[in-house]
Amino acid sequence: MGLTRILLADDHEVVRAGYRRLLESTHGMEVIAEAASGEEAYNRYCEHKPDVVVMDLTMPGMGGLEASRRILTY
C-alpha cells in the first residue's frame, strides 16, 4: 500500500514542524505540503490533492473552517 499524503495547515511554524516530525515518524505517512493560512491551505490542496488535511481552525484571514468548506466543495 502507498503512502498517505498529508497537507499541514497551521499559522505557527513550530506547530507544523512538530506535526511533521510526528507524522513522518509513522510508517506510511508523508507530509507533501504545508500552509500558514486558510487561503494557502486551499491553494496547496488544489495543487497537491493530498489524502489527508490536518487543519488549524483559527488562523488569520480565511480561517481553517472556511478553508475546509471550500476544500470539501472542490
**Closest by CA position to 55, among listed 4, 46, 63, 47:** 63
Predicted TM-score (pTM) of this structure: 0.93
Q: Please state the rounded mean pLDDT for residues 64-70.
A: 97
Q: Please state the rounded mean pLDDT for residues 61-67.
A: 95
pLDDT at position 1: 65
pLDDT at position 2: 87
Q: What is the pLDDT of residues 16-60, one digit of tens each?
A: 999 999 999 999 999 999 999 999 999 999 999 999 999 999 998
- What is the spatial distance between Cα 70 and Cα 51, in angstroms, rounded to a whole number? 16
